[in-house]
Amino acid sequence: MSSGLRESLKEELRERALASGFVACGFTSADPLDCGGLLDGWLAQRRHGFMDYLARDRGRRLEPRASLDAAAGVMVAAWPYAPPPPPAGDWRATLTGRIAAYALGLDYHTRLAAELDRLAAFIEERTGAASRVHVDAGPLVEKELARRAGLGWYGHNTNILTRERGSYVLLACLLTEARLAPDPPFAEDHCGTCTACVPACPTRALDDGPTIDAPRCISYLTIEHRGPIAEHLRARMENWVFGCDVCQEVCPWNEAGGAAVEALSPSLPELLAIDRDGFRDRFGATAVARAKRRGLARNAAVALGNSGNPDAADPLERALRGHDEPLVRAHAAWALGAMGTVAARIALERSRPEAQAPPVQREIELAVARLRRTGAAAAVSRSR
Catalytically active residues are 136
Q: Across the chain, where does the E strand assignment appear?
A: 24-29, 73-80, 98-99, 131-134, 153-154, 160-161, 169-176, 240-242
CA distance linking residue 195 with residue 72, whole number of Å: 37
Contact present, 327 and 320 (Cβ < 8 Å): no
Instruction: Tell me which long-range contacts 216-220 makes (C-beta under 8 A, separation of at least 24).
Output: 217/244, 218/243, 218/244, 218/246, 219/100, 219/243, 219/244, 220/49, 220/51
DSSP lists the bridge partners of residue 154 as 160
Alpha-helical (H) ranges within 88-196 are 91-94, 108-127, 142-148
Task: Tell me the backbone φ, ψ of residue 135, rounded to 5 degrees.
Answer: -130, 85
CA distance linking residue 82 with residue 46, whole number of Å: 33
Contact present, 251 and 155 (Cβ < 8 Å): yes
Residue 95 exposed, middle or buried by CB count within 10 Å (0-12, 13-18, 19+) = buried
End-to-end CA distance of the chain: 87
| 270: nearest Cα among 279, 258, 281, 257 | 279
| 334: nearest Cα among 366, 294, 372, 379 | 366
CA distances from 276 to 56, 273, 286, 330 (A): 32, 10, 15, 19
CA distance linking residue 372 with residue 375, whole number of Å: 5
